[in-house]
Amino acid sequence: MNLIKRSAAPAIALGLLSFFVWTIWAPGPTPGAPKVTRLLERPQAGEGSPRPSQEGRQKSERRAAERGDSPISGGGKNKKVLFSIPKEHYVPVGRLKIPAIDLNVTYRDGVFDEVLIEGPGHWPGTPLPGAAGNSVLSGHRTTYTHPFGDLNLLERGDRVVTTAHENKPVLYKVTRVAIVEEERYVDYVLRQPKAKRLRRITMFACHPKGYRTHRIVVQAEAKPLPKPKPAPEVTSRNPQ
């Protein structure tokens, strides 16, 4: 029995020595070779792909913040105060028709989400369509009823017809289509004309579709209001 143990000992020692030599001299993984992940293994966070840089993270966060279809968001330092409108006043005050894009909708007073989910909204503090001055309407392009989804298809000369309350329809013709940065759009759309009788309507929405980095702005003008007729002269007769 002792003889068997003594004769087996050299074989065991030789086997262990061969294993250690193979471990030391065995070739490692080829540089650049793809790592094989077993089915039940989960790579650690960031493993297999470079970590995003701070600039990349900021860019991703900025793009996420830019998404949306709220035409009255942003506005920069010069954003004007939006006058509040009681909810019971969220009723149509007029109608807007643009034949070139098959638009025929009512609009309401106010440019808040509660208004814009129903259709275009009139910016409080600006004249109603048909009156002298610049009337401003805002609307969505991709969400809710998306009435202004095709503003980009309008061209100079296209007709815009509006009514306000029970007044007669007023015909406008498109004079300008512009793309304005978010920081500048408020002052741009609210600017009133110097000519007292000029009638302008300004319609705007987010641009490009699904983002709000810019605004697409369409302006149209109607014939100026006629000059008021002079009041008749009143002559008085002195009693005889």
Average pLDDT score over the chain: 75
Dist CA 109 CA 125 (whole Å): 10
Dist CA 29 CA 162 (whole Å): 75
Check residue 16 and give its pLDDT. 53
Check residue 230 and give its pLDDT. 77
- The tens digit of pLDDT for each residue in 82-117 reads 445 555 556 899 999 999 999 999 999 988 888 888
Phi, psi of 214, deg, nearest 5: -140, 175
Token pair recorded at residue 50: 């470079």
End-to-end, the C-alpha distance of the chain in Å comes to: 164
Q: Give the number of other Cβ atoms within 10 Å of residue 65's Cβ.
A: 13
Q: Where are the domains of the chain?
A: 76-80+92-222
Overall average pLDDT of the 220-231 stretch: 85
CB 217 within 8 A of CB 185: yes
Tell me which CATH homologous superfamily contains domain 76-80+92-222.
Sortase (2.40.260.10)
Q: Return the percentage of the chain with pLDDT > 70, whole number.
A: 60
